[in-house]
Amino acid sequence: MERKYEVMFILRPDITAEDADRVITNLEYTVTKGNGKLLSSEKLGNRKLAYTVRKFNEGNYNLFTVEADGSLVAELERRLRVTEPVIKFITVRMDEEEKRINKIRKLRSTKVKQSTVNAQAAHAAAAAASAAQAVPAQPPASAETPAEPTEAPAAIA
């Protein structure tokens, strides 16, 4: 079953450009020879590593996007393990990640639609409430006005 993978590998920083190209070409050939599709190959350049790996603080980063079956990916990882200039690598299955991202997008779009409907309902309720306040209320007919005091209390001398 063909699945989509991203393979990132880091080459030694002291490797020459020709040797790096040779390693990358051999890995690309491994993918194409094994009936896989190399969707993209990117050279990301020299970067500082987060921590020391095999006494190196920098590395030459490379990224492959591959569409292949599991056995081909296993072979590619085996070759990465035994290739001396490769100091670190990781393979990530992207079809599961894309499925998860699509699920989140769908969930967010339904929340946006729901919040839009709720906002429209709240706006309509606010409009109805302000319309009710705009009509002045008539005082009840039986209400009496408070009586004023007729006499002031006498001052004590």
- Write out pLDDT tens, residues 24-49: 999 999 999 999 999 999 999 999 99
Q: What is the pLDDT of residue 11?
A: 97
In a domain, 37, yes or no: yes
Q: Please report, for the domain that includes residue 76, its CATH number.
A: 3.30.70.60
Domain span at 34: 3-98
64-91: pLDDT as tens digits: 999 999 999 999 999 999 999 999 999 9
* Full-model pTM: 0.64
Q: In what order do the strands lie in the sheet with 37-53?
A: 37-53, 56-68, 3-11, 86-93
Give domain status of residue 89, yes or no: yes
SS (H, E, C) 57-88: EEEEEEEEEEEECHHHHHHHHHHHHHCCCEEE
- Considering its fold, how many domains does the chain have in total? 1
6 Cβ partners below 8 Å, 6+ apart?
A: 63, 64, 65, 66, 91, 92, 94
